[in-house]
Amino acid sequence: MSDHPDTLGSGADLADERIFDHAVHNRPYGNLRISGDLGLVIERPEGVFVAIIDVLGHGPSANTTARQIELLLTQPDLDVRDVTSVLRALHHALLDKRGCAAGLAWCDRATGKLRYTAVGNTAARCFPAVGKEVRLLSRDGTLGAAVPTPREESLTLSPGDVLVLYTDGVSDSFKLSDYPLLRGDSAEVVARTLVQRFGKTHDDATAICLRWKR
């Protein structure tokens, strides 16, 4: 849903700062039109927040929980820069509902510093413009049920770097050599290609791509 960079503010304010290109692509399980996955990108003047969520199960009841999570994460007063606090808030909000796997990232626009935390079976991988891939770790568990002490990882993004996040409906075994254009394609094409090329047909499949434009 949030694949439009519509909250960037005036061009003059951000002329010297980095501009993000981002997109979310979701393909529901089977012939369903709704999904228990949620991909969300929220741009703020100070940076960008990314969430990849996989609610247990699929179909209407998983989708109801996914919509509730979306409402929580899009509250204007939520401090999305503190990804660990957001993860904890999500866990508490889900205690009487279906659980989920979640990966949450915040990237600071001025510095490129990225904070990331995740629980459960979602993936986050950074493909730098130069150098080797970095995989960000997720802890075992299920938000709403069993959560270990959240662990936060950090990384500094540089212009041209690509961050992809996806649910377990996308095969986790693809390599850059399976999709070499990942580093050059637009975020929209990358998100769609990951789902179409590496998506599994027996689960909801969602991919997010976040790239710093050069």
Q: Using CB under 5 A, list all residues that contact Mn ion.
A: 54, 167-169, 203
Phi, psi angle pair for 192, to nearest 5°: -70, -40
Question: Helices 59-73 and 83-93 meet at what angle, rounded to 10?
Answer: 140
The answer to whether residues 40 and 24 touch, using CB atoms and an 8 Å cutoff, is: yes
Which residue lies nearer to Mn ion by CB, 90 or 157? 90
Distance CA 103, CA 43 (A): 17
Which residue lies nearer to Mn ion by CB, 47 or 169? 169
- In the structure encoding, which two tokens stand for residue 151, read together? 């662990």
Which residue lies nearer to Mn ion by CB, 141 or 169? 169
Q: What torsion do the CA atoms of 96, 82, 56, 24 make, to the nearest 10 degrees?
A: 140
Distance CA 56, CA 181 (A): 32
Which residue lies nearer to Mn ion by CB, 43 or 203? 203
Shortest reach from residue 209's CB to Mn ion, in Å: 18
Which residue lies nearer to Mn ion by CB, 36 or 150? 36
Residues ≥6 apart with Cβ < 8 Å to 199: 27, 169, 170, 171, 205
Region at 68 (left for phi over 0; alpha for psi -120 to 50; beta for the rest): alpha
Distance CA 190, CA 62 (A): 26
Which residue lies nearer to Mn ion by CB, 2 or 167? 167
Shortest reach from residue 52's CB to Mn ion, in Å: 11
Shortest reach from residue 62's CB to Mn ion, in Å: 9
Exposed e or buried b for every residue in 150-160, given b needs 16+ CB within 10 A?
beebebebeee
